[in-house]
Structure 1
């Protein structure tokens, strides 16, 4: 991928929220971009984007891998994000998404792993983990998915912080399962914002609301929690102030890392 703009300087061991769900993680000498959305504000079918990205895609063309929790919805994978992901060396996503997108996509079901070689000779392992994109009692399709097939990711490697990226998950039960199966989680990128879609699931959240995000943080026990996916689209119903209030109510302000988009946040305390 070629770029005419200066690349975003790397900041190893840190994460940066671009806007919406889109997150840049520099980890072990690798650059990872999750759920790329780079379009300008405007309508995307029944969804409306209200803010553009804090960092444009041409500054991130050195990405080593792109993670897509699901390709079905524009707020996680808009037109510019799709072009960006398909130009990357590797795209990890759901099994259904990989079949739809083709190369360079590789599909991962929950529990599957993919290992990348780090510049220092070590390895970074990406593990797909479950996600439930709606209320627990939502109608399931023949594959057992609510809304659509979605995965989260756990990134791990020797000498690196273990990072959980939730994807669009609304299920505390699922977070509990991931915490139980993962020895230590050092940082979590939680898709919060209480996304609600008119006419679906009685307009109950299809992603974590603020109270559930704080509960998820308590369950995970991670010393660093970075919220994402809480603004930039009209269907998000709880923004930064509500998230901060919920973490304060839970006595968890000390682990919350939230800042203006485009700001690097350390993945370790």
Structure 2
């Protein structure tokens, strides 16, 4: 069993610390107030800043970047810290854009993180689709990440990434049977594209985990931007009757230690 500390910095940005490792998901450290263009007529304004400044982070062994082309997952300040990270794991197209040794993974491909005195960590990219069917050419390539290491008793740690509920994502959940899930929610919509959603709602998240027994589910990336349509209150309303035990709130700026 391993004690893993999660610190929610803001949005999808979480510092994960265990067994000497420090991993960072989707670095976003810009201050609030700016509007960012996401392409194809969509945009959003950042409403909440990070709880920790990039300059105040400890040394980072690896960045787990679900995608590089949307500023709510990688903004200017987050991009500036990438050269200081030991490794950057992301999509294949993202690795080409970033260069500088970034490692691109297709779903199902894995990369092994190793360091003296620490357990090796296998990071496997998992499928994600950041929008409705046929939207990938518009919304771009996205992956999630499953992390495994020796001594895990409760199943892998799974970071879903920004995705809607799809067949491949469901199959991944069933195959992984994760013990801990960083669950990207928010039910993203844009006025320009009407009722189409680009991330899971709470109902989608419950459907994804149906039949599984995760020990801990940490919802992330559901507040702090204009384009989210389901905030903490809406998610809580959906989840209080189902899977209420595993759902653990990780407010921005807070840390929680979970046994994995």
TM-score of the superposed pair, with normalisation by structure 2: 0.90
C-alpha separation in 2, matches of 1:47 and 1:157: 37
Which portions of structure 1, spanning 4 or more consecutive aligned residues, are displaced by more than 6 angstroms?
A: none
CA shift at 1:19, angstroms? Answer: 0.9
Alignment partner for residue 147 of structure 1, among 125, 139, 150?
139
Is the Cα contact below 8 Å between 1:86 and 1:104 reproduced in 2?
Answer: no
Counterparts of residues 166-245 of structure 1 (less than 5 Å): 166-182=160-176, 184-200=177-193, 202-245=194-237
Hey, what's the Cα distance between the residues in 1 that align with 2:61 and 2:258?
19
- Counterpart of 1:258 (choices 239, 249, 252) is 249
Q: 1:133 aligns with which of 125, 130, 147?
A: 130
Pick closer, same or farther for the CA change 1:219–1:27 going to 2, 3 Å.
Answer: farther
**Alignment correspondent of 2:10:** 19
1:28-82 deviation digits (Å, cap 9, x = unpaired): 3211100110000122232210000111112224110001101111111111111
In structure 2, the CA distance between the partners of 1:119 and 1:203, relative to structure 1 (3 Å rule), is farther
Look up the SS of the partner of 1:164 in the other structure: strand
- Distance 1:59-1:119 versus aligned 2 partners, 3 A rule: farther
User: Cα offset for 1:174?
Assistant: 2.9
Matches within 5 A, 1:65-76: 65-76=62-73
Q: Deviations over 1:167-199 (max 9, x none)?
A: 1011242332112332x4110001101111222
Sort the Cα spacing of 1:261 and 1:139 in 2 relative to 1 into closer, same or farther, 3 A. closer
| Alignment map for 1:5-44 (pairs within 5 Å) | 13-41=4-32, 42-44=34-36
Structure-2 residue corresponding to 1:58: 55
Distance 1:119 1:225, change over 3 A: farther
Report the Cα distance in structure 2 between the residues aligned to 1:121 and 1:48, rounded to whole angstroms: 40
Which residue matches 1:96? 93
CA contact (8 A) 1:37 1:80 kept: yes
CA distance in structure 1 between the aligned counterparts of 2:256 and 2:207, rounded to whole angstroms: 21
Question: Is the aligned partner of 1:123 residue 2:120?
Answer: yes
Q: Distance in 2 between matches of 1:120 and 1:48?
A: 43
For residues 64 and 216 of structure 1, the distance between their equivalents in structure 2, rounded to whole angstroms, comes to: 30
Once the two structures are overlaid, the 10-residue window that deviates more, 114-123 or 33-42, is 114-123
> CA deviation digits over 1:2-48, x for unaligned, max 9?
xxxxxxxxx95121211111111113321110011000012223221
- Taking the aligned partners of 2:95 and 2:23, their CA distance within structure 1 comes to 18
The corresponding residue for 2:40 is none
Q: How many residues in Structure 1 have an aligned counterpart in Structure 2?
A: 251
Higher relative contact order (CA 8 A, sep 6+): 2
List alignment gaps of at least 5 residues for structure 2. 38-42
3-state SS of paired residue (1:203):
coil
